Structure 1
Amino acid sequence: MGRLDDRVALVTGASGGIGMATMRRLAAEGAAVVGTDVVDESGEKLVAELSEGGARAVYQHCDVGSLDDVTAAVERAVSEFGRIDVLFNNAATSTGGYIPDLDPEGWDTSLRVMLTAAMYGMKAAIPHMAAQGGGSIVSTSSIYGVVASPGNAPYCTAKAGLINLTRTAAVEWGRKNIRVNAICPGVVETPMYDSVLGIGLKTHEEISAMHALGRTIRPEEIANLVLFLASDESSAITGQAIVVDGGLISDCNLTGVPPA
């Protein structure tokens, strides 16, 4: 028996990193999974792999910045598998620069993909969840939703807004047995992290040393938390923004005393 037997999960940003790891983890626990992305080749390859392994899995092209696309993805989950129990808002993008230099179009895209898209997902999924008796919505925020970084205003702003969208949805829909939570990952080993290393200001070793655990985070470790929040094991948890960062933002070492 899997922890998500007879449940249906939709994952945005399913073609890489956290999304791909989560698709595998939820399917391994018995969920039917609908993966969505704009990178179709990787998403279709993943779904074929899962299907060959016996999972119920389908892929849908979806630009999360489009309400029509997001609604169509939710409706695909319902038409294909009969319901939607888990929505994982995970798609992300990255742009930046100092605030006076920001490109307004890049700003709009960042907020649309990482904040407005989550609202679209909730808008489309909540009526189904309420009608069927409940569900779990999980969104990928970031430690940059609770702390700041120079040159990262679009990302930080979108991720901070996502945390309060999560809280608002949780208090609106808790009495319909719909739980809504956010995960705030730290430095996860994904293609987006590779782009950070590409800037060249810090090495992987230097970044790892900033963590209390002395290492960065694996996508599978975030997927484990998504699974927990999707399952009945987290039945009393809603409206939370849970940091998973290996102790990165816990450390403000002003004295220079080394760790044990």
Structure 2
Amino acid sequence: MSEHIIDAHALHATAQYKQFSDLADKVVFITGAGSGIGRAMADAFAANGAHLALLDINAEALERARAELHLTFPQIEVDCHVASIVDQVAVEAATAAVHAHFGRIDVLLNNAGISANRPTLELPAEQWRRAIDVNLNGVFYCAQAVASRMVAQGSGVILNTASMYGTVAAPERAAYCASKAAVVMLTKVLAIEWAPQGLRVNALAPGYVRTALVEELVRAGRMDLEALQRRTPARRLGEPHEIATLALFLASEHAAFINGQAVVADGGWSAYSYI
């Protein structure tokens, strides 16, 4: 718990310096909020005084996040919901509960997703379907459910988490690249369709980020950290709080004229054509 608290205090200083004061008292709905980038997003928006609705499939991670957030940011409200984003009925129920609780939803951080890395000739159909179901269908279900409330209130921001691998390709990631590229195009469609109703829709496209999942893959020998760092022009992985800070900017009034974009944060990976 202490690690999150220390990170939150550091992020609080950064957020205050960047002056995202327009996010104070906004209602921010975050999917995949129990860990990784979603958890960092919760810290970031809480640091700016936003009230949080957190959704995750992991009930234990959600309760841990709620306790840590209350301890660090006692002035904000944290509402938690356990659900899978691939269950459209559960997504609608959670969205309705969040809206009933707060009376509005100002920002959706459509963050939940899964990785998929396997040679294409060995890729089982069920793993292909799972990647598409979570990374694309789940994003659509959440966006549709929340946007119906945002349209009624005449304002809102949706940030879909795509990936740099939604803009460039890599071997053995057919399902992941396809699903994340689809999120980028879905984002563009929703942005142009919903802009007249006062909504903005953008995508975050992170590169390799140092999360607990990545560290576990490195320890298990399934990911070569040194090779990834050498391949990245910045010579390091990203940090969750860096993606969260980008989300702060895109959700704020500072980004009021940015719509329908996939904003890549990958340390230069996709700009560098050398493999």
Give your verdict on TM over 0.5: yes
Matched, 1:38 2:64: no
Q: 1:81 aligns with which of 91, 97, 102?
A: 102
Q: 1:48 aligns with which of 52, 59, 67?
A: 67
User: How far does residue 191 in structure 1 lie from its aligned partner after superposition?
Assistant: 3.0
The structure where helix makes up a greater share of residues is 2
User: How far does residue 199 in structure 1 lie from its aligned partner after superposition?
Assistant: 6.5
Q: 1: CA distance between counterparts of 2:180 and 2:214? A: 16
Structure 1 segments unaligned to the other structure (5+ residues) = 255-260
Q: 2: CA distance between counterparts of 1:118 and 1:92? A: 8
Structure 2 segments unaligned to the other structure (5+ residues) = 1-19
User: How far does residue 198 in structure 1 lie from its aligned partner after superposition?
Assistant: 5.2
Q: 1:97 aligns with which of 111, 118, 140?
A: 118
- Per-residue CA deviations over 1:99-123 (Å, capped at 9, x if unaligned) read 2221111111111111111110111
Matched, 1:22 2:41: yes
Matched, 1:219 2:219: no
Please tell me the root mean square deviation across aligned C-alpha atoms, in Å.
Answer: 1.7
Q: How does 1:151-162 map to 2 (within 5 A)?
A: 151-162=172-183
Pair 253,106 (structure 1): closer, same or farther in 2 beyond 3 Å: closer
Q: 2: CA distance between counterparts of 1:201 and 1:97? A: 11
- Count of residues paired in the alignment: 254
Q: Which residue of 1 aligns with 2:88?
A: 67
Q: Which residue of 2 aligns with 1:258?
A: none
TM-score, with structure 2 as normaliser: 0.88
- Per-residue CA deviations over 1:49-93 (Å, capped at 9, x if unaligned) read 212331211111010001111112211221111100111111111
Q: Which residue of 2 aligns with 1:176?
A: 197
Q: Which residue of 1 aligns with 2:5?
A: none
The worse-fitting range, judged by mean Cα deviation, of 97-106 and 111-120 is 97-106
Percentage identity across paired residues of the two chains: 37
TM-score, with structure 1 as normaliser: 0.92
- Which amino acid in structure 2 is aligned with residue 221 of structure 1? E
Q: 2: CA distance between counterparts of 1:201 and 1:221? A: 24
Equivalent residues of 1:71, 1:124 under 8 A apart: yes
Equivalent residues of 1:2, 1:28 under 8 A apart: no
- Which amino acid in structure 1 is aligned with residue 233 of structure 2? A
Pair 149,253 (structure 1): closer, same or farther in 2 beyond 3 Å: closer
* SS of aligned partner of 1:137: strand
* SS of aligned partner of 1:236: coil
Q: 1: CA distance between counterparts of 2:248 and 2:92? A: 23
